[in-house]
Amino acid sequence: MAADATNLANSLKTAWTTNFAPLCHPQVSLTSVVVTDLSSPTGGQGTSTGAVVGTRAGTTLTSNDCFLVDFKINRRYRGGKPRQYWPFGIQTDILDPQHWTTTFVTAVTNAHNAMGAAAISLTWSGGQIANSINISWYQGFTVVTNPVTGRARNVPKLRTTPLTDQVTASTFSQRIATQRRRQHFSQ
């Protein structure tokens, strides 16, 4: 139901404000939280809007720099693994050009765990959040060849039923991560 999803989005935004805003420079803002019920194609959706600005004072980092959280699941497969890239930190949170300080890693770990606990504590008429999951929407691919150029590309195949994996552990990387693949900082 959309009303429950909106209430959940508002509560998650409050938890983000409490736990994650203190880790973000004021140039970082949360602009909205969208909650979608994935139990059916017509599941309700709710949104919480209004900017929440980061409160961590200091010199900002580049837009490349981010904090990486890796998630472990009990299934092995080829392809991207569940992870989050967060726009956390300021210059004084950096130990050296490749690493966060241990104090900052601990602060992020504590905030992330508190955010998870806040999410799991939320309930609504349809239930509650039991744990973190990874949803796999695609399996395999079809090779499609462009008739004009002759160039082939892989088009992912949508699963008939999405596969759900429970997150069993989280790893908080001390290495400064980037979403730019060619720099390979997150390894």
3-class SS letters over the chain: CHHHHHHHHHHHHHHHHHHCHHHCCCCCEEEEEEEECCCCCCCCEEEEEEEEECCCCCCCCCCCCEEEEEEECCCCCCCCCCEEEECCCCHHHEEECCEECHHHHHHHHHHHHHHHHHHHHCEECCEECCCCEEEEEEEEEEEEECCCCCCEEEEEEEEEEEEEEECCEEEECCECECCCHHHCCCC
Q: Are 173 and 187 in contact (CB under 8 A)?
A: no
CA diameter of the chain? 56
**How confident is the model over 43-70, as a mean pLDDT?**
93
Q: Which residues touch 55 (CB under 8 Å, ≥6 apart)?
A: 21, 22, 24, 26
Q: Domain limits at 116?
A: 2-132+167-183
Residue 163 clears pLDDT 80, i.e. is over it: yes
Q: Look at residue 64 and tell me if it is in a domain.
A: yes
Q: Look at residue 138 and tell me if it is in a domain.
A: no
Question: Cα–chain-centroid distance for residue 107?
Answer: 17
Q: Are 35 and 5 in contact (CB under 8 A)?
A: yes
Q: Look at residue 37 and tell me if it is in a domain.
A: yes
Note the pTM of the prediction, 2 decimals.
0.85
Q: Look at residue 152 and tell me if it is in a domain.
A: no
The number of folded domains in the chain is: 1
Q: Which pLDDT score is estimated for 187?
A: 45
Q: Look at residue 40 and tell me if it is in a domain.
A: yes
**How confident is the model over 56-66, as a mean pLDDT?**
92
Q: Look at residue 126 and tell me if it is in a domain.
A: yes
pLDDT digit string (tens) for 79-101? 778 999 999 999 999 999 999 99
Q: Look at residue 172 and tell me if it is in a domain.
A: yes
Q: Which pLDDT score is estimated for 130?
A: 85
Q: Which residues touch 181 (CB under 8 Å, ≥6 apart)?
A: none
Q: Look at residue 143 and tell me if it is in a domain.
A: no
Q: What's the full length of the chain, in residues?
A: 187
Residue 60 clears pLDDT 80, i.e. is over it: yes
Buried residues in 162-172 as b, exposed as e (16+ CB within 10 A): eeebeeeebeb
